[in-house]
């Protein structure tokens, strides 16, 4: 028995169901708040990151993820910050892969900015990862530098190529930013589809204080994105889901899929099956609410998982019906104070 393996529960714990009858089957787990980019819609240019002592160890993260799997989680998404910047993070992927082998977990995946993919793509495949999301808001190198402040565009493209070569299914995510990347929506779709990748567009969300333009000035509704794409492609509604919030259409001219994530114009709360855990072990039952539960305490207080399961159960019973995201001129403060990099992307 290694540090990632724990004694089995005496009895199989009951699945997690919130007060509105939604089964929690999808857990997004941040392994670090650190990132090698400073994207303008995600974080301030000069961030103060958490001291390492506050972060869960990889062993604690493995134990926490395994507890959720025991309670019916079928999908684990590893996030950050940039998750592949976490030292020895592949130890966690290797440990969690046993749940794929057992069949209790259906998918182990991650969201990444792509900067480290050339190093880790093949090892991710070896750990059972089959599908990943890569954030890419622009194909223009200078615009990429302005958006990310510190990112290396060529390195990201090399990472995407390495992921495809390793056999990973890649979905590109782009945040739609008014007056910034509107002219790139069609080229991004063509770039993705020419390489066999899905392309998803996301509305900017009011999370954390950022430098530069106000969120209301960045915000572009998905109706505008669809209108732009509809002028170039014949978009057909399709019944395709990945377990997340995106709703997909097919571009008939390319045969590829285009996804839309609409937390502002049409929230997807009624079918929300997700929770998020930060790298410090804080469980957020809703991305757009401040209510949270501490899981680090129960993890460290007892060697068995009884306290951890009790804390998770109590938290899920507080999962709200929906979020309260607002972006308008009268609401200058973010809906929640924490940055996306803190919650987990």
Closest CA to 15 of 312, 226, 228: 312
For residues 221 and 202, give the distance between their C-alpha atoms in angstroms, rounded to a whole number: 9
Q: Is 269 annotated as a binding residue?
A: yes
Check the annotation: does 286 bind a ligand.
yes
Give the list of residues 6+ apart from residue 194 with CB closer than 8 angstroms, or none. 254
Is 77 annotated in some ligand binding site?
Answer: yes
| Distance in angstroms (rounded) separating the CA atoms of residues 75 and 77 | 7
Q: Is 205 annotated as a binding residue?
A: yes
274 annotated ligand-binding residue = yes
| Burial tier of 173 (Cβ tally within 10 Å: 0-12, 13-18, 19+) | buried
For residue 281, say whether it is annotated as part of any ligand binding site.
Answer: no
Q: Does 276 appear as a known binding residue? A: yes
The verdict on whether residue 75 carries a ligand-binding annotation is no
- Residue 262 tokens read as 């609409």
Alpha-carbon distance 218 to 5, whole Å? 45
Strand order of the sheet with strand 107-112?
235-237, 247-251, 256-261, 198-203, 169-176, 131-135, 107-112, 75-79, 26-30, 274-277, 282-284, 292-294
Ligand-binding site membership of 111 (annotated): yes
Was 39 annotated as part of a binding site? yes
279 in a labelled binding site: no
Q: Which residues pair with 110 in a beta bridge?
A: 78, 132
Q: How far apart are CA 308 and CA 301, in angstroms?
A: 9
Is 240 annotated as ligand-binding?
A: no
* Residue 135 known to bind ligand: yes
Task: Name every residue whose Cβ is closer than 8 Å to that of residue 10 and which is 6 or more positions away in sequence.
Answer: none
Q: Kind of pairing, strands 247-251 and 235-237?
A: antiparallel
Detail the residues annotated as belonging to a binding site: 28, 35, 39, 41-42, 77, 81, 111, 135, 171, 205, 269, 272, 274-276, 286
Detail the residues annotated as belonging to a binding site for [4Fe-4S] cluster: 35, 39, 42, 269, 272, 286
Detail the residues annotated as belonging to a binding site for GTP: 28, 77, 111, 171, 274-276
Detail the residues annotated as belonging to a binding site for S-adenosyl-L-methionine: 41, 81, 135, 205
């Amino acid at each position: 028995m290694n540090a990632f393996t724990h004694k089995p529960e005496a009895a199989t714990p009951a699945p997690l169901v919130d007060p509105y009858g939604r089964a929690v089957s999808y857990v997004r787990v941040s392994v670090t708040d650190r990132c090698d980019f400073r994207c303008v819609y995600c974080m301030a240019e000069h961030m103060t990151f958490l001291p390492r002592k506050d972060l869960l160890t990889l062993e604690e993260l493995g134990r926490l993820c395994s507890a959720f799997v025991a309670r019916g989680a079928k999908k684990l998404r590893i996030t950050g910050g940039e998750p592949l910047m976490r030292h020895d993070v592949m130890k966690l992927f290797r440990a969690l892969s046993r749940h794929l082998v057992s069949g209790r977990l259906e998918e182990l995946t991650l969201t990444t900015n792509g900067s480290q993919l050339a190093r880790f793509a093949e090892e991710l495949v070896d750990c059972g990862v089959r599908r990943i999301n890569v954030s890419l808001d622009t194909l223009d190198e200078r615009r990429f530098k302005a958006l990310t402040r510190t990112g290396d565009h060529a390195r990201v493209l090399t990472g995407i190529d390495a992921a495809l070569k390793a056999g990973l299914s890649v979905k590109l995510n782009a945040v739609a930013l008014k007056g910034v990347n509107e002219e790139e929506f069609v080229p991004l779709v063509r770039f993705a589809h020419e390489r066999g990748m899905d392309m998803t567009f996301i509305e900017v969300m009011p999370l954390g204080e950022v430098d530069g333009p106000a969120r209301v000035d960045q915000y572009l509704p998905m109706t505008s994105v669809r209108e732009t794409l509809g002028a170039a492609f014949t978009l057909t509604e399709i019944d395709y889901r990945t377990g997340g919030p995106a709703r997909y259409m097919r571009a008939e001219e390319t045969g590829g899929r285009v996804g839309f994530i609409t937390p502002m114009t049409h929230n997807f709360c009624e079918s929300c099956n997700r929770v998020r855990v930060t790298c410090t072990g804080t469980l957020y039952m809703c991305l757009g609410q401040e209510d949270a539960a501490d899981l680090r305490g129960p993890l460290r207080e007892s060697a068995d998982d009884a306290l951890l399961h009790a804390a998770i159960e109590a938290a899920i019973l507080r999962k709200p019906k929906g979020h309260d995201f607002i972006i308008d001129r009268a609401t200058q403060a973010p809906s929640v104070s924490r940055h996306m990099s803190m919650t987990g992307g």
